Structure formats: C-alpha cells, structure tokens
Amino acid sequence: MLETKSFTPTRIAFLNASIIALLGFLLSLLSWRNFTLSLLGSFLIFSVCFFLTKYLVEQFVNRRVKLIYKFIHQTKASKREDFFNKNILPKQSLDEVTEDVLQWSDQRKNEIEILERNEQFRKEFLQNLSHEFKTPAFAIQGYLETLIGGAIENPEVNRKFLGNAFNNTERLIHLINDLDEITKLESGKQELHLQQFVIQDLIQEVFESLSFKTKSKNIHCGFKKGSEQPILVLADKEKIRQVLTNLIDNAIKYGNYDGKVEASVYKTDDVNMLIEISDNGIGVAEEHLPRIFERFYRTDYGRSRNIGGTGLGLAICKHIIEAHGQIIHVRSKPGIGSTFGFTLAKSNS
C-alpha cells in the first residue's frame, strides 16, 4: 500500500519519474532492441521528470503555503514578509511550516484565553462596582425621602437622618477616590517620586493621624521592641503613607476594643527591609487569605458589619508595593490577630 501521508515533493517526483522512466525503458527496448541505448534514454527521462516534477510540486505547495502565511499574518506582504516569502519560505520544509502554524495557533489560543479572562474580570468588576455604589446611594435616597416625607419636622430624628445621609455621601466619595487611585495605579501611568525618609517617623505620623480612631476603641499603638532604631528607606513617601494608613486603619477597624497595634521594622539583608503591622484583632480565616488583596474582596465580617471600607484598600496597597518592585504578604489566625508585612529598599547613603 502507498503511504500517502509520508509523501514529500522529492518522493512524489521520484515515484513519478521512476514510473515514466520504466515505461520509456520498456517501450524503447521493444522498438530499438538496444539495451544500453534504452537504459541511457530512460535515465535521461528519469532525470528530466524527477527535477521537473519536484520543481512543479514545490512551486505549487509554496504558493498554497504562502497563502496560509498571508492569512495567518492577516496582512498584505510588507517588505520583510516579501523577503520571507521569496527567500526563506521556499527553503522551509513542510514540517517547519506545520511547526510554524501550530505555534501560531497556540499563540492565538493564549491570546483568546487572556481576552476571555479579562472580559470575566471586567464583568465582575462592573458588578462589584454597581453593588458598591448602590448601597450608599439607596441609603441616601431613603433618608432624604423620609425627611421630605415629614421627618424633617421631627426634631428627634431629623438631624440623625441628615447625619446618616451625610455619612453615606462620604462613603461614596471615599469609593470614588479609591477607584480613581486604583485606576491610575493599574494604568501604570503613575510615576513614583522616590525620596529618602526615616520609616519609623512616617509610621509615627500615621499613628497620630489615626489617633481619633484608636482612642474611640482604646487601642494602643506602638513599635515592637528592637524596631526603634531609625532606618532610612528609599521610596515614594506619600504612597507608602497611603499603604501604612490603610494597614493601620484596618488593624484598628478589625481590632478588638482595648487591643493593640504594633509596628515592627527589620533589616532583611543589605538591600531591603521588612515593615510589619500586627494587631490582636479578629483575624482572617485561612480560606480568605489568598484573595484578600483582590479588588473589592472583603470577608463576611468586613461586609456584614459594614464598617465603612470599600474593599479596595489592600488592592491599592499591593499595587503601590509592587510598583516599588517589592512584596506584600499577610499572616493571620482567626481570634488571634493579623500581621501584614511589606518590604522596601533601604537607602544606603
């Protein structure tokens, strides 16, 4: 049986030339009755047939393959492709062409997968977004409706309802600001303004800026023993302030009354250092830990108690730290507390 799958232009040419040469040999032997002359003649026929067929088959295949290449590149031939079509393609074996096409199709498959994942991401993002906007917007509408409906005359509730409506507008603004921030960070357009500063001073400033919250829950903020020696870091100070503010704010929000928030600063090696913010609050269950830095991700507790967060804080922290080429991580145990840590580059001057 002829194994047509393993046909190559050379094999086709060889088979074709052999059959014609054999027939030519038999015919010429019958008519000339001269063995040597017939053999010579058929050898000539074989050579001409072999090279002609090989050339024509290759031309035919190349023309078809060129069409496929043009199709997969979806372009009119540019100069580079012209060169490729004229000089490289004819020399490529069909196996190489198959390899090329397979590679191309793999690439396309990957691209489609990425697009599909992005599309899914975008859908989830929009769903979350509309949900996050709806809650405060409906609350404002509810309070205002009740006030307009007569509650404005009731001195017992009118201020309270107005206050609630105001708190919800604050929540909306907070959400818009966070969204603005994360969009800027994700577009990668934000530049870092690196400067040297003492990390402990910045942590202290953030502790002080949040003191009204710590006081209301009687939470004690301070440094862990051994972390007091001032260390200069090289980073975008305002962005790191944002990271620390969110981590310490979380530590207070999800911390217990009369609890404590502790900052520690360690030198990890000659280049980097590690900053950790620990609390002895409610902690995070293990199943939530891998997702906690995702946009809008909040544990059931963070959601149900409605403590006022947008669920974007940790996502923003992660973006900022990664933009510095550093890492952020979390360790936590429910009922015991959480430790969020991130690395920063030490300033060596």
Ligand X SMILES: Nc1ncnc2c1ncn2[C@@H]1O[C@H](COP(=O)(O)OP(=O)(O)O)[C@@H](O)[C@H]1O
Positions that interact with Mg ion (CB under 5 A): 246, 250, 309, 313
207 binding partner (options Mg ion, ligand X, none; Cβ < 5 to 8 Å by kind) = none
Q: Which is nearer to ligand X, 41 or 283 (CB)?
A: 283
Q: Which is nearer to ligand X, 152 or 289 (CB)?
A: 289
Q: What angle do CA 179, 193, 125 make, to 5 degrees?
A: 15
> What does the per-residue mask of binding to ligand X show for 276-315, with x meaning CB under 6 A?
---x-xxxx-------x----xxx-xx------xxxxxxx
41 binding partner (options Mg ion, ligand X, none; Cβ < 5 to 8 Å by kind) = none
Contacts of 103-110 spanning 24+ positions with Cβ under 8 A? 104/72
CA distance 160 to 154: 10
Q: Is residue 200 a contact residue for ligand X (CB under 6 A)?
A: no
259 binding partner (options ligand X, Mg ion, none; Cβ < 5 to 8 Å by kind) = none
Residues 229-258 that bind ligand X (CB under 6 A): 246, 250-251, 254
Q: Which is nearer to Mg ion, 161 or 293 (CB)?
A: 293
DSSP helix, strand, coil percent of the chain (3-state; round to 5):
65, 15, 25
User: For residue 73, what are the contacts with CB-CB under 8 A and spacing of at least 6?
Assistant: 81
Residue 163 structure tokens: 């206050």
251 binding partner (options Mg ion, ligand X, none; Cβ < 5 to 8 Å by kind) = ligand X
279 binding partner (options ligand X, Mg ion, none; Cβ < 5 to 8 Å by kind) = ligand X
Q: How far is the CB of 102 from Mg ion (least distance, A)?
A: 48
- Residue number, nearest CB to ligand X: 309
Per the listing, tokens 């969020």 go with 340
CA distance 179 to 316: 9
Q: How far is the CB of 206 from ligand X (least distance, A)?
A: 14
Q: Which is nearer to ligand X, 61 or 179 (CB)?
A: 179
Local structure of 1: helix, strand or coil: coil
Residues 30-49 that bind ligand X (CB under 6 A): none
Rounded to 10 deg, the angle between the 158-187 and 94-148 helix axes is: 160
- Judge contact between 243 and 206, C-beta under 8 A: no
C-alpha distances (whole Å) from 301 to each of 2, 255, 297, 312 are 72, 12, 11, 15
254 binding partner (options Mg ion, ligand X, none; Cβ < 5 to 8 Å by kind) = ligand X
Phi, psi angles (nearest 5°) of residue 331: -130, 140
CA distance 57 to 46: 16
Q: Which is nearer to Mg ion, 49 or 252 (CB)?
A: 252
298 binding partner (options Mg ion, ligand X, none; Cβ < 5 to 8 Å by kind) = ligand X
Q: How far is the CB of 215 from Mg ion (least distance, A)?
A: 19
Please report, as ranges, the residues that interact with ligand X according to CB under 6 A: 246, 250-251, 254, 279, 281-284, 292, 297-299, 301-302, 309-315, 338
